[in-house]
Amino acid sequence: MIKNATGYPCPSCGTTRAIQLLIKNNWMASLQMNPFGIVVAILMVVLPLWIVLDTITKKETFFKSYKKAEAVIRTKWLAIFLIILVLLNWIWNLKKGL
């Protein structure tokens, strides 16, 4: 949508295609398409399993870990680092002409 409106790809453009390449066991092409794809693919597998496990065991480990992760991500230095990563990924997408 962003590319259609502005003519420029968003920082996450190519993530779906990167996941499709991972499913086809083409790791390098996936990484080149968009490094976020690997992170998203891992999260798409691990998080639902974790939530189901918590539901079965009637624990709240996912929720507690989420709250801790949220607090850590809100620290200034890590937030700046993550923003820089997103900007670098966006530059990568622009350079590739996605």
pLDDT of 27 reads 92
Q: What six digits make up the tokens of 89?
A: 């990924």
Q: What six digits make up the tokens of 77?
A: 């230095």
CA distances from 56 to 41, 51, 60 (A): 23, 9, 11
Domain parsing of the chain, residue ranges: 2-96
**Is 92 a residue whose pLDDT tops 90?**
no
Choose among 60, 43, 42: nearest CA to 51: 60
Residues 6+ apart with CB under 8 A from 63: 54
Q: Please write the tens of the pLDDT for every residue from 21-35.
A: 999 999 999 998 888
pLDDT of 76 reads 92
